[in-house]
A and B are shown apart, each in its own frame.
Chain A
Amino acid sequence: MKKVAIVGYAQHKILPNAGALNEVELIMPVVHKVFADLGISQDDIGFTCSGSCDYLQGAAFAFVEGLSAIQTYPPIKESHVEMDAAWALYESILKVKMGDADTALIYGFGKSSPGNLDSIISLQMDPYYIAPLWPDRISLAALQAQVLLQNNIISPDDMMAAVLEARQHGASNLNALLTDLLTEDLYGSDAFKSSPLRGLDCPPISDGASAMIIASEEKAFEYTDNPIWIEGIDHRIESSNLGSRDLATSPSIESSVQHLQLKKVHFDVAELHTQFSHELPFLRKLLNLTNVPTNLSGGPLVGNVMMCAGLDAIGKTFEAMVNDQLTHGLAHATSGPCLQHNMIVHLERHS
């Protein structure tokens, strides 16, 4: 089977409100950055794929505008997923594996500041039974947090530690949105949004964009001596019916771990798309990462660009492996309420 490597990644500084910058103006700098890092241009790209959500911008076909950030003359091989850009990466990998492209550009973008994210995410639910009740994203996440606490899978201290550590890690992440340190007292005095989730257990409203370049085995070595290989990638979805799911576990992640044969891999680093504090200790346990440095970027709790945060988890794992010459990295991306759809990526650096 053809091998595929990540050779470049760039991330816009995460902003609480990008204000006058529109999506195109967020995308262009990161695409130019990732091109400049490798000394390439759109002419070197065989396939381009993006991830975004029309509803964040409040207009049908909003993603079309995003394409204006890309050189499209001569016309390009291109597609778009209405998903986190981690899935745009997935689609691009298929194109490289089938030999349709040697090099692919992936980008994701999202601005949560213009609209009401709670209402928008409510519209992900069953339109006949659940969406009319307008359940907000925090309350949905709180359902799972409660189940995990009840079953002693995680503790309130685990949740607090996830929040405090995220800020510590975020302080050394130049693109992080939240970098001020927290104390146990500050956390303990923070009001509950939807019990057991306090405001600090939730990710900040964020605007941003990111871009990534992947390449085939032959091409990867033209760009770098040390490509980061996508050794394994797998994603699976669970039922939309929360009542039929066991929220204390994740069959989708367990299937992926088995499918990718990760049980015996010793990971040096991990970045998880854990948007709420309880999800981090839960997934660390599930993925056997208790002793693995995880979310050194601070993760979504210090900056959570919708439609991009999953790609960012993969990109941050890539960066850590390049910078610290690590061998095995694990990245996770998610979509839907209560970690409904999960992607697991195994990255490897050959020494």
Chain B
Amino acid sequence: MSNDQAPKDYRESLIHLEYQYTAGSATTTFLNQVKEGRLVGQACPKCQAVYVPPRGSCPRDGIATTIEVPLTDKGCIESFTVVHIPIPGNPIVPPYVCAMVRLDKANISFLHLIQGVEIDNIRIGMRIQAVWKPKEEWTHSLENIKWFAPIDEPDIDVSTLRFQAS
């Protein structure tokens, strides 16, 4: 008996569902700017915390982030992990570095890749800058940034990054 005919105690039954995904109006505004190579955060009108990427609200105060705050593409590594296992459905080859990227003037971080440096030299607080794809490939996605790479600036003390409402 070949393997194919070996009795199984289960069978796969795949569920296929399609969705029209909506980013939300705040994120749409953000992504329209990302398409032009600009990173524009949004601030909470109450506590002034700057969110990037913005998701439409400040969960601290439960209100819409209505103030636009242009940011640079520089920041620091708030923390990171070296991932040694593959991501389902992603061609990226391990090991790779996934970091909490904190842009300057922003009060939350987001996950992105770190490259352009030996993994062993990556550290918390390291200064980094976005490495963009060629302009003609830009779309409505943070994938316009290929990864962040270290820059020659002194490290940041990450304990100073914690947001305190004034």
Residues of A within 8 A of B (CB): 18-22, 24-25, 28, 31-32, 42, 55, 57-58, 65, 67-73, 111, 113-116, 119-120, 123, 132
Contacts and interface: CB of A to CB of B under 8 A. Distances in A.
Interface of B: 13, 15, 17-28, 55-57, 59-64
A25 B64 CA distance: 8
A272 B57 CA distance: 34
Nearest to A123: B15
B62 A70 contact: yes
A68 B55 contact: yes
Contacts of A119: 17
30 contacts: A20-B23, A20-B24, A21-B22, A21-B25, A24-B24, A24-B55, A24-B56, A25-B24, A25-B25, A28-B57, A28-B62, A32-B63, A55-B17, A57-B19, A58-B21, A68-B57, A69-B57, A69-B59, A71-B59, A72-B60, A73-B59, A73-B61, A111-B22, A113-B20, A114-B20, A114-B21, A115-B18, A115-B19, A115-B20, A120-B17
B141 to A, nearest CB: 17
Contacts of B22: 18-22, 111, 114
A36 B30 CA distance: 29
A104 to B, nearest CB: 16
A115 B17 contact: yes
A113 B22 CA distance: 10
A57 B17 CA distance: 11
A22 B24 contact: yes
A331 B55 CA distance: 35
B19 A114 contact: yes
A240 B28 CA distance: 42
B57 A58 contact: no
A31 B64 CA distance: 12
Given A22-B23, A114-B19, 13 more contacts: A22-B24, A22-B55, A25-B24, A25-B26, A58-B19, A69-B57, A69-B62, A71-B63, A72-B62, A115-B20, A120-B17, A123-B15, A132-B13
A31 B63 CA distance: 10
B62 A21 contact: no
Contact of B18 (A22, A73, A111, A116): A116
Contacts of B24: 20-22, 24-25
A108 to B, nearest CB: 16
Contacts of B17: 55, 58, 115-116, 119-120
Nearest to A25: B56
A265 to B, nearest CB: 39
Nearest to B62: A71
B8 to A, nearest CB: 15
Contacts of B63: 28, 32, 71
Contacts of B64: 25, 28
Contact of A22 (B20, B27, B59, B62): B27
B108 to A, nearest CB: 11
Contacts of B61: 71, 73
Contacts of A18: 22
A71 B60 contact: yes
Contacts of A69: 57, 59, 62
Contact of B59 (A32, A68, A120): A68
Contacts of B20: 113-115
Q: Which of B17, B22, B62, B64 is the most central at the interface, judged by chain A CB atoms within 10 Å of its CB?
A: B62
Contacts of B28: 20
Contacts of B21: 58, 114
A77 B28 CA distance: 32
A119 B17 CA distance: 7
A123 to B, nearest CB: 7
B12 to A, nearest CB: 12
For B22, B26, B60, which residue has the most chain A Cβ atoms within 10 angstroms?
Answer: B22
B48 to A, nearest CB: 14
Nearest to B60: A73
B3 to A, nearest CB: 25
B62 A65 contact: no
Contacts of A20: 22-25, 28
8 smallest beta-carbon distances between A and B, as pairs: A22-B24, A71-B62, A58-B19, A73-B60, A68-B59, A20-B25, A114-B20, A115-B19
Contacts of B18: 115-116
B59 A67 contact: yes
A25 B62 CA distance: 11
A31 B59 CA distance: 13
Nearest to A70: B62
A81 to B, nearest CB: 20
